[in-house]
Amino acid sequence: MNSNEAMDKRTTVEEGTTFKGTMSSTCPVMVRGTIDGEIEAPSLDVAETGTVVGNVRVESIRSSGVLAGTVDADDVYLSGSVRSDTVIRAKSLEVKLQRERGKLEVSFGDCVLEVGDDPAVEASDTSAQSKSEAKPSVSEAPAAMQGDDASGDPKKGKGKRGNSRSTSIPPAG
Amino acid sequence: MSGATTEADKRSNGKGTRTPMNRADLEASVRRGDKLERAQLEGADLAGAKLERAKLRRAQLEGANLEGADLSRADLSGATLREAFLSGAKLAGAKLGKADLDGANLSGADLSGADLSRANLEGANLEGANLSGAKLRYAQLDAANLGEADLGGANLSHADLVEAALEGAKARGADFSRADLRNADLSEADLSEANFEEASLESANCKGARCSKANFHDADLSDANFGGADLEQADLRSAIIDGTLFEQAKLTGARLHGLELEAEQIDSAEAEWIDRSSGGDGSDRRSLRPGPLARPEDEEGTPRRFFGAGDVMRNAELEFGDGAKVQIESRFERCTIRLGKNTELIVGEKGTLEDCTITGGRLRILGRFLERRSPGLIGPSQLHVSARGAVAATVQQPESATHFAFEKGCRLRVRITQPSQG
């Protein structure tokens, strides 16, 4: 199947369907039901009625349903909810401002978000350049900065895009 | 060329048998002014044919090749032209109301003054077409390619232009009122004096567009991007601008009554003055100061605190009362900040907070917040990290949960905990 054909087709887990196990697809995956296990696909779309629990490795994920587990992706767009013990690693994350006042666009349980380059690395770099005073090194950084050690998640483990993004970042602005 | 069956055939034999008609016969028939209503010309090769003023109402021309054909002032109302090849065709003044042009190729065609009201042009290619003065009311143009097309003075009110490509289009004075332009690409388009009243431009790309004197009154501009656009003297009164970006836009003389512009929305925007009068008559001129806290109009009585770039604060304990607005463009180290319930704290693009603890408040991070002591952010009711913002921290949510917003491009090493985990 060439890439165009793959993109034209879509694997759908419909509402009322529960899938347990490992799913590997060359097509975009749409989840309206429940997936419990591992997913590897170009993209994953979790509808409001959908739930994905487990390890997800995709290029892009758009979720307005429920996510739990470990997500490795380039681009993540979230609404809906993220359950406890979830780790999201991504190059970019987008969560919109809530549309309705008082309503949460996305609710987070206990979870870890690792998005883009590590700000702590930049802080160390810029501090070293601009000041002689001691600055916190990466090793001194809080648990949240320390990759998968931070999660406290028994399912932790680096994905293929894992923590390879911990490089220096350009100054803001 | 395939044969054609016309209304005349049907009248003559009552059964609608097909009369073979080649290109010469068809052109002769058109010259005579014959009615060719419902003519069946599917897949016909009529490239370059002279069909001026042809009477082809409800004709079947699906997949026909009409490249460069002259159909000026032709009547093609209700005709089926799905997937037809009309590149470079002359259709000036043609009647195409309710015609089905789904997927048709009209690139470079002359449709000036044509009537395309309620026509189906879904996914059609109109790149570089001349649609000046055309009537496109209620036309279906979703996902159509109108790049570089001339839409000057065209009427597109109520048209469906969802995800349409209009980059570089020349639409000066065009009427887009109540049109649906969600996710449309209008970048670099000339929209001067165009009318977008009550139109939906949600998530539209209007970067670099020329919108001077355009009317966006009551339009939905949510999440649209007007970065670098020229909006001088544009009317944006009562528009919905949730998440709309005006970075580096020119806003001199823009009418902004009824709008609440957030700081990052107008980052680096330029305006000698803006018009806040309800009537949009220039009677209430205000300044629009660039910068994260720049607002056209400060709320009266709102206490503000500002910490400028270059300052360094260390080991300080600060407390800001309910309802205050605080902006930090400086460097804070090992500081403890307590915020009232409705206090807004903005860490500007030049601001850095390192090893600090913030309790409560609504937080907007355009700069950096880097913690060592956990949790660094305790009980914020809102945490908004802008595209240039960076946060490395543990966020302990309050009982009512934190409203999070993360813009694409932000950098995070964030651990979120629920209140019980204190």
Chain A interface disruption, residue of B264, B332, B394, B414, most A CBs within 10 A: B414
pLDDT, position A159: 34
Token digits of residue B354: 């390192």
Closest to B295 in 3D by CA, of B321, B311, B276, B282: B276
Report pLDDT digits (tens) over A106-124.
889 999 999 999 888 765 6
Report pLDDT digits (tens) over B47-72.
999 999 999 999 999 999 999 999 99
Residue of chain A whose alpha carbon sits nearest to that of B412: A115
Residue of chain B whose alpha carbon sits nearest to that of A77: B408
Chain-chain contact of B412 with A115 (C-beta, under 8 angstroms): yes
Instruction: Provide the CA B102 distance to its chain's centre, in angstroms.
Output: 23
CB B394 within 8 A of CB B376: yes
pTM of the model as a whole: 0.51
Token digits of residue B328: 């930090």
User: Closest to B354 (Cβ–Cβ): which among A107, A108, A123?
Assistant: A123
ipTM given for this complex: 0.73
Q: State the Cα–Cα distance between residues B165 and B168, nearest whole angstrom.
A: 9
pLDDT of A9 above 60: yes
A138 touches chain B (CB under 8 A): no
Q: How crowded is the C-beta side of B200, counted as CA atoms within 13 Å?
A: 11
> Which DSSP helix (H) or strand (E) runs through B12?
helix B7-13
- The domain segmentation of chain B, as residue ranges, is 304-421
Report pLDDT digits (tens) over B266-300.
888 888 888 877 777 777 778 875 433 334 344 44
pLDDT of A99 above 80: no
Q: What is the DSSP letter of A111?
A: E
Residue of chain A whose alpha carbon sits nearest to that of B390: A119
Report pLDDT digits (tens) over A129-169.
544 443 333 333 333 333 333 333 333 333 333 333 332 22
pLDDT, position A138: 31
Q: What parts of chain B have a pLDDT lower than 50?
A: 1-3, 7-20, 290-300, 421-422
Q: State the Cα–Cα distance between residues B354 and B289, nearest whole angstrom.
A: 28
pLDDT, position B275: 85
Kindly list the residues from chain A whose CB atom is less than 8 angstroms away from the CB atom of residue B401: 104, 107-108
User: Closest to A144 (Cβ–Cβ): which among B223, B350, B392?
Assistant: B392
